[in-house]
Amino acid sequence: MALTADSTPATGPDPAPAVRKGRRRLRTFSRGDKVILSLMVGIPLLYEAVLVWLPALLSVGLSFTNARLDITQPGGVKLVGLSNYRFIAQDYPPFMPALEHNLIWLLFLTLIATPLGLFIAVLLDFNLRGSWLYQSVFFIPVMLSLALVGIIWQLMYSSDSGLINSVLGTAGQPGAVDWFGNSKINLWAALIATSWKHVGYIMILYLAGLKGVDPTLKEAAAIDGATAAQTFFRVVFPAMRPINIIVIVITVIEALRAFDIVYIINRGTNGLELVSALVVQNLIGEGTNIGVGAALATVLLVVSLVPITIYLGRTFRKEMR
Amino acid sequence: MSTAVANNTRNADKANPNGSRIISSRTRVFSYIFLSVTAFLWIIPLAWTLYTSLRPEADTNKYGYLSTGGSFNFDNFSQAWTQGLFAKYFVNSAIITIPAVIITLFLASMVAFAVSRYTWKFNITLLILFTAGNLLPQQILAAPLFQMYKHFPLPLSVSDSGSLLNTFYGVIIANVAFQVGFCTFVLSNYMKALPSELGEAARVDGAGVFRQYWQIIMPLTRPALAALGTLEFIWIYNDFFWALLFIQSGDRLPITTGINNLNGVFAQNYNLIAAGAIMTAVPTLVVYLVLQKQFVAGLTLGSSKG
């Protein structure tokens, strides 16, 4: 990067007779240029194919095999049909709770955290005095890793010295609530910790979206006597349709990708089972069973492809025409 | 894209004088109250962590964690630093993050250049493949990647495991693979907005494809590269999973994965854990203070199109 030449004025003598506007076709290239262009696309493409798409397909493949600790296991890897799927559906107790928790995760983010982020963005968009200060406060958690968020909230939640139990006067007492340890409530405690970050993320996206809405729309609505709420729901929110869809997709994908925070808390056990965590439990440590892990990963892949397809379809639809 | 950002700021400036007129004073009062209460709640976890980290354990044991008694100092930080392998973790994070960001931007910018400046048959297919890769949950790739790494022979002089496992290379490679897609998407949008005459003129002057990319398009893409670089720095620094999967030696973990061990190492000493948490947050907070605009621009670059 340091080699970057100074931005030599890119305006040639005169690009005037650009009758044939638009981008160039490949056939106008010299051979050397073709080779270089192929390399520029080919190397990253190969990289991406080998490290992302091949493993994704291999996960599907491995899910139909009896691979346990290694693909070079004695006796070889054999196809076993759907038996890994039958196992996770029938004989693997954490699977159903994990699906349920992923769904709760999704609903919580969609119905509570994301709307809260939007609401805060709307209030900040009023350009109140000191709004940069509020903005910074909501913004800081966005910069932190979810692993670190888990550690920080542990200091809030711990039963013997956490802030919440200290305020309640129960810290270290028998009546103390172990927010991350009690399997009846730890999912909600983890969701609150996650939302601490998610709300700020959504706020940033919507702040940009709101700034992009033509202010004369709002002024016109105000002149017509609309209240702030009416202006928002009837004028501003519909005008942000593209960003709304992206925010929904991001929220769904975040819910499917949730992993770090539950893994930091208790590796995704005891009330915090998530499909992603079960995949890892089947790949690391004593219980290693590649086939089962791959079957769980395939379930996650199939579910993930729904929001990804919607997102890509929307994003690239215009260009496909 | 650049024009969109420019428009945004202009709209903001325009809205400012009118902002007070659009909302009633009742709405304004409500907004202040709501934002103040929420912001207060929002700052508590970090404030509490900082507060706890500044107090010796003996004092918090004596007075309780929710108290003001006792002394305040940085002893927890020095103790956590030496006891918790922090120096190592930070170096490891730098070894992983810096090359990963540079390689990611380099690969992504090449593809973005090719698909945005020239018409290919498979332009959209390519972009879809790259973008989708970044959206998958990492765990989907875990089992096959682990096996591929394990059976990828490397000389012992390069890797003491004889494979890609337990190496920084392995973590860097996986991070790059996962981030290239998003960067390609953002950069191609940005480059598309640059006038196509630029390339034409350079071609008339006899510049080859690579020179057009490196000397003409890349310098003009600098704002997007700065924004993405900041964002990717944070994202890769914050990545927890790849090192968890591939690194077995505790002293090779980057900081974000290393904090997984804090509870064990500090034996429930919350003051030390708090100090460790604050230290872990410092690099991102520095980036936040210095490059906040770039970070936000990076985040919104990816979403402002749709």
Query: Between B289 and A281, whose confidence is greater?
Result: A281
Place of tokens 């010295």: A161
Put residue A76 in one of left, alpha, beta given phi > 0 → left and psi -120 to 50 → alpha.
left
**Mean pLDDT confidence for A272-276:** 95
Residues of A in contact with B197 (CB under 8 A): 15, 18
Question: Where does chain A show beta strands of DSSP type E?
Answer: 24-25
Window A:97-126, CB contacts with B under 8 Å: 120, 123-124, 126
A215 is written with which tokens? 């202010």
CB A14 within 8 A of CB B204: no
pLDDT beyond 90 at A250: no
pLDDT beyond 90 at A177: no
A137 is written with which tokens? 């406060």
pLDDT tens sequence across A124-170: 988 888 888 999 899 999 999 999 999 999 999 988 888 998 888 88
* CATH code for the domain of A247: 1.10.3720.10
How open is the CA angle A297-A300-A304, to the nearest 5 degrees? 135
Q: Is residue A169 part of a domain?
A: yes
CA distance B283 to chain A (A): 10
A196-200, A226-230, B151-155, B255-259 — most confident range: A196-200
Structural domain count, chain A:
1
Query: Which range is least confidently modeled, B82-86, B97-101, B295-299?
Result: B295-299
Find the residue in B nearest to A24 (Cα): B118
CB-closest option in A52, A128, A256 to B28? A128
Q: Is residue A14 part of a domain?
A: no
Residues of B in contact with A166 (CB under 8 A): 64-66
Confidence of residue A16 (pLDDT cuts 50, 70, 90): very low
CB A196 within 8 A of CB A203: no
Residue A213 belongs to what H/E stretch?
Answer: none
pLDDT beyond 50 at B290: yes
A116-125, A281-290, B254-263 — most confident range: A116-125
CB B52 within 8 A of CB B270: yes
pLDDT tens sequence across B226-247: 889 988 999 999 999 999 999 9
Q: Is residue A275 part of a domain?
A: yes
Query: Between A260 and B121, whose confidence is greater?
Result: A260
Residue A20: the pLDDT is 43
Domain that holds residue A146: 93-281
ipTM entry: 0.87
C-alpha distances (whole Å) from B72 to each of A164, A256, B61, B268 are 22, 42, 14, 20
Query: Between B4 and A84, whose confidence is greater?
Result: A84
**Mean pLDDT confidence for B121-131:** 81
What are the beta bridge partners of residue A25?
B119
**Mean pLDDT confidence for A8-28:** 43
Residue B201: the pLDDT is 75
CB-closest option in A7, A123, A209 to B34? A123
SS (H, E, C) B28-83: HHHHHHHHHHHHHHHHHHHHHHHHHHCCCHHHHHHHCCCCCCCCCCCHHHHHHHHH
The DSSP 8-state label assigned to residue B215 in this structure reads I
Q: How far apart are the C-alpha atoms of B200 and A61, rounded to whole Å? A: 47
**Mean pLDDT confidence for A292-321:** 85
B133 is written with which tokens? 């890769």
Confidence of residue A5 (pLDDT cuts 50, 70, 90): very low
**Mean pLDDT confidence for B142-164:** 90
Q: Does A158 reach chain B within 8 Å, measured CB to CB?
A: yes
Smallest CA-to-CA distance from A42 within B122, B34, B12 is with B122
Q: Is residue A288 part of a domain?
A: no
Query: Between A192 and B130, whose confidence is greater?
Result: A192
Question: Cβ of A180: how many Cβ atoms within 10 Å?
Answer: 26
Residue B300: the pLDDT is 74
Q: What is the mean pLDDT of chain B?
A: 84
**Mean pLDDT confidence for B176-186:** 91
Q: How far apart are the C-alpha atoms of A144 and A132, rounded to whole Å? A: 19
Window B:109-138, CB contacts with A under 8 Å: 110-111, 113-115, 117-120, 123-124, 126-133, 135-138
pLDDT beyond 70 at A187: yes
Residue A190: the pLDDT is 96
pLDDT beyond 60 at A10: no
Q: Does A85 reach chain B within 8 Å, measured CB to CB?
A: no
pLDDT tens sequence across A75-130: 788 889 899 999 999 999 999 999 999 999 999 999 999 999 999 999 998 888 88
pLDDT beyond 60 at A30: yes
Q: Is the pTM of this model over 0.90?
A: no
pLDDT beyond 90 at B281: yes
CB-closest option in B202, B241, B244 to A12? B202
C-alpha distances (whole Å) from A105 to each of A98, A264, B171, B275 are 10, 17, 28, 30
Query: Between B17 and B1, whose confidence is greater?
Result: B17
Q: Is residue A10 part of a domain?
A: no
Q: How far apart are the C-alpha atoms of B92 and B73, rounded to whole Å? A: 28
Q: What percent of chain A has pLDDT over 90?
A: 48
CB contact under 8 A, A148 and B281: yes
CA B118 to chain centre: 30
- Which residue ranges form the domains of chain B, and what is each CATH number? 2-6+85-303 (1.10.3720.10)
Q: What percent of chain A has pLDDT over 70?
A: 90
Q: Which residues contact B295 (CB under 8 A, 6 or more apart)?
A: A143, B227, B230, B231, B234, B287, B288
Put residue A288 in one of left, alpha, beta given phi > 0 → left and psi -120 to 50 → alpha.
beta
For B44-82, b/e burial (b = at least 16 CB within 10 A) is ebbebbebbbbbbbebbeeeebbeeeeeeeebbbebbbe
What are the beta bridge partners of residue B119?
A25
Residue B63: the pLDDT is 81
Q: What is the mean pLDDT of chain A?
A: 85
Question: Cβ of B291: how many Cβ atoms within 10 Å?
Answer: 19
**Phi, psi for A168 (deg, rounded to 5):** -75, -10
Confidence of residue B279 (pLDDT cuts 50, 70, 90): very high
CB-closest option in A5, A120, A153 to B38? A120
A119 is written with which tokens? 């609401």
CB contact under 8 A, A25 and B119: yes
